[in-house]
Structures are given as structure tokens and as C-alpha cells.
A and B are shown apart, each in its own frame.
Chain A
């Protein structure tokens, strides 16, 4: 645990000193603030636009960081050969990988907290309704971000940064379309198409399960049982991805 912590804190420090992260954060803050201007330009549902755009900004910023920083978590270490001196220390590859992941998760957590605070402040200033459903939506956004980071990490253990980014982005898109894939598998005529879509449905994470932004923006609270189940699903899937990443990373030569 000690060594995972050392790697995690160093990764966190790395991202704190990375200007790209501040740019993404600034962009997200701008989007949250900009939602007020956009709401004023519309005729109806001012509050819903501010609420909706804020949640979307938190989600987009989290996913951008998860994908574009996550893909470099391991591949950058290998490409730059910084991994050489670390792996020569009394640290296992699993500890290294989990430490890197934990460091990025800590960074993402701080980002989400900052964005959430600014978001709630914006809602309060705009006199929009602040309710428990919004916090629940942000919690599930964070679970989704955890999962996508694990996907990026998995790909980065065996492929280049560019390829990892493309694959992670692809899986993210498919992850939001799994329900459609299921429908396609059920209604399809061609057996091959049915098998492929059914396979993709069962293999890819169902990210729509973690998307409750719509009901939350409408002012509805999410059932606690659903929130717990969706969180558990996301965390289990993440654990599975991390295990696969550790197994692949274990076999690599540097």
C-alpha cells in the first residue's frame, strides 16, 4: 500500500504541474459560467439549461481528462523510459499500475469537486433549484470517469497513445449505445450481425446506466437502490479492467 501511495502522490503532483489539466478545468468552468448567458438568451426553461449544461460540463471535462490523460498513464512512462528506474525498485508491476491509476483518480476527484462547487455556486447565484439528484448525477459521472480511466489504462498497457485514445473513445461511444446494440441484436435478420452486436452488448460497459443527467436536470431524485446498483456495476467493471491491465502489464518487457 505504501508504494502504491508513493506512486499515486507523485502522479497527482505530476498532473498538478501539468498546464493541460488547468486548460481543461478552465474550459469546463467557462462552460458552467457560460450556461448562464445561454439561459438568458432562451425564452423558456432558463433554470433547466443552467442545470443541464453544468452537469454536461462536469461530464465532458472528466471524460476528456480520463481519456487523454489516462492513455498516457503507462504508455508515456514506457515511451519516455521513466519506468526503467521505477521498476528497478522493490515495487511490483501491479503496485505501479494501481499507483498510477490512483494518482489520476485523485486528480479527477479534485477536478470534479472543484467543478461541482462552482456548479452549485452558479445554480445558487442563478436561483435554480439545488437538490439531491444533482449530487447523485455527479457521483455517477465520477463512476463513469473511473471506468473510462480504467479503459484508457488497459489500452495503454499494450498499445501506443494514439491507438489507445482511439480505442478508448470508440469504447466510450459504444458504451453509450449498448441499449441500441441490444435492440439491433434482437431485431436483426442477419445471424452474423446479431452475434456481433450481442457480443458487443455483453462485452462493452453499459455507460448509459451511469447517465442520470436528464432526470436530475428535470429536478428528480434518483432511487438510492438504482444509484447503489449503478455504482457497484461501474466499480466492478473498473476492477475487472484493472485486473486485465495488471495481467497484461505483468507480461511486458521494457
Chain B
């Protein structure tokens, strides 16, 4: 079963002036998130990531299309008992202590006092806030607020967790902590759907990713498939004992040549060109030091997709 199924979801906003056309937030977006996977939702600013997440948790209503969460339509209030949500740059009731704050969200999810006590202790420990249990949130740092926000999303042990930009504004340690939390959730069989700008984090932990641009889903799939499929892997060749610039057989195929003393780095845009270059190195009595195939990165794919769309707009 899919944890999230979105079919041709559209959202447009009235511009405020009747003669102006409505602004498009989402345009027939379709995607699915499988149970138990970590799905990264990528896209530039204003692409429609937050709009999608808000529709899924009932903060916004779609103009058209349909979406299901855990097999139930998104309008079903009761399904939210099984969902945890952390918005982007969250703001919470700062007059509450961490303990009161988690108790409040737990009670909203229907939890009783008996189960709340141990759960609050467990979660505060998991996010490293045990010492701040009785401190008011107004005295929390940004990183602490993000961690207590994650704890509120998990207080009722949801099956599906939705995070909107959970790593934004955090230092490397904070980002690693969030990554660890997400990975632990997958180990427990939970589904995590999160949006992010921080591509290396997405690449590191996601099973699948979707790239949304201008309200449309352009690419979706496993990270390794996406970065390798349809993309030319480059190859780096390091050799020594020859001056590569003097060998036309190499200069005409290399995308970049870096000569450092006796050693030379030759960057080839395609693996097919490798044999030709190796023959040329042997022919000129050079020594091969290493051959390293370079895998494509999600960042390259992301930038390529956004560039294509940018050009299409022009």
C-alpha cells in the first residue's frame, strides 16, 4: 500500500484583482510514497513543495485532483491521528515548557496521561532535550526548537511523518541529528516524506526522491537510478611521464586536462573514450596511475532539471 498517493493535484490562488489570472501553486502533480520508505521532495523556492505538504495535512484545500494518505482521503480528520507533521521554521507556544508542549500535542492526538508521561521522557531523551524538560520554549535556541518540533511530530507514534525543510537553518551537527532521527524512523518501519533544499542530505538518506519545479513533478525515482540513468558518467584518468597537452588524441576528447609537474589529470566526459586515451598514453610511453569513474550527483541532476525549466521559461 502507498502511504501517500497524489493524483493530478492542482492548487491556484486568486491574485486579489479580478482581472489578473490566478497564481498557480501546483499543476496536476502526481506522485506516490510507498510505506516504509524515506521520500525526499526537492525543488527550488516557490516550486510547490510546502503547498503539497500543507494540502496533505489539511492546512490547504486543493483546487482539483485527489490525494490519499494511508489509504484515506486527505479530508478525513481522523487519519491525522496516524500522521506527524513538522512545518518549515516552526513557531510554537513559547510560554509552555517542553514537557507541557509535548503533553498538549499528545492530548490533541487522543493520548491519555498514563501513556504520555513515559512517552515524553522517551522522546525528550531521543532528541537530547532531557535537561530542558521544564524550560519554557522561549528560552530555546533554534536547533532546540527544531528538535522539540520533531518530538511533537512523533509524540503519538505516527505511521507517516511529514517534515517541511527540517534541516534548514541548522548547523552540520543539527543536520546530522535530524538525519539520524529520520533513519531511526525508517528502521522502525515508519514512512518519512520530507522536503528539503539541502541536496547532500537528501541524497544521503532518501530511498526515493521527486523533483518538483513550477508545481509539476519532473523526475521521480530511486536516487542511484536518477543520478546514473540518462546521465553520462565522467571518468578521471591520472597518468605520469607525459605532457598530455602535446598529444592531440587526448586533447580532442578530454573535457579538462590538469598538468601538475610529471602528473596529469585527464577528465573524460564519457566512459567510451577511455580505451582511446589509454592507447594514447601507452603509445607515448606514459604510466597510468589511476582510472576513477565519476558517478553523477543528485545536485547535478537537480541543477540540470532546474536549468532546463529555466530555459523553457525563457
Q: Chain A: residues with CB nearer than 8 A to chain B?
A: 2-3, 6-7, 10, 13-14, 17-18, 80-92, 253-254
Contacts and interface: CB of A to CB of B under 8 A. Distances in A.
Contact of A254 (B60, B85, B149): B60
B9 interface: no
B77 A13 contact: no
Contact of B54 (A2, A7, A86, A254): A254
B123 to A, nearest CB: 15
Interface of B: 54, 57-61, 77-81, 83, 85-87, 90-93, 95-96, 100, 104-105, 107-110, 149, 152-153, 162
Contacts of A82: 91-93
A86 B83 CA distance: 12
Label chain B's interface by main secondary structure: mixed
A85 B85 contact: yes
Contacts of B87: 81, 84-85, 88
A87 B162 CA distance: 14
Given A13-B95, A90-B80, A90-B110, A84 B90 contact: yes
A81 B78 CA distance: 22
B93 A14 contact: yes
A253 B110 CA distance: 25
Contact of A90 (B78, B90, B100): B78
A10 B59 contact: no
A6 B162 CA distance: 23
B25 to A, nearest CB: 10
B95 A17 contact: yes
B95 A88 contact: no
B108 A6 contact: yes
B90 A85 contact: yes
Contacts of B90: 81, 84-85
24 contacts: A6-B104, A7-B108, A13-B95, A13-B96, A17-B95, A81-B87, A81-B91, A82-B92, A84-B54, A85-B86, A85-B87, A85-B92, A85-B153, A86-B108, A87-B57, A87-B59, A88-B80, A88-B83, A88-B162, A89-B105, A90-B80, A90-B109, A92-B77, A253-B59
A10 B80 contact: no
A7 B108 CA distance: 8
B100 to A, nearest CB: 8
A69 to B, nearest CB: 14
B57 A88 contact: yes
B59 A254 contact: yes
B61 A253 contact: yes
Between A13, A80, A83, A88, the greatest number of chain B beta carbons within 10 A of the residue's beta carbon is seen for A88
Contacts of B95: 13-14, 17-18
A252 to B, nearest CB: 9
A249 B54 CA distance: 16
Contacts of B54: 84, 253-254
A47 B85 CA distance: 59
A204 B188 CA distance: 57
Between A90, A91, A92, the greatest number of chain B beta carbons within 10 A of the residue's beta carbon is seen for A90
A91 B108 CA distance: 7
Contacts of B85: 84-85, 88
Contacts of A254: 54, 59-60
Contact of A253 (B60, B92, B93): B60
Contacts of B92: 82, 85
Nearest to A83: B59
Contacts of B109: 89-90
Given A83-B59, A84-B87, 16 more contacts: A6-B104, A6-B107, A6-B108, A7-B108, A10-B96, A13-B95, A13-B100, A81-B90, A84-B85, A85-B90, A88-B57, A88-B83, A88-B87, A90-B77, A90-B79, A254-B60
Contacts of B86: 85
Contacts of A17: 95
Q: What 9 A-B pairs have minimum CB-CB distances, sorted nearest first?
A: A88-B85, A88-B57, A84-B87, A90-B81, A89-B108, A254-B59, A253-B60, A17-B95, A90-B80
B159 to A, nearest CB: 13
A90 B58 CA distance: 10
A254 B85 CA distance: 15
Contacts of A85: 85-87, 90, 92, 105, 149, 152-153
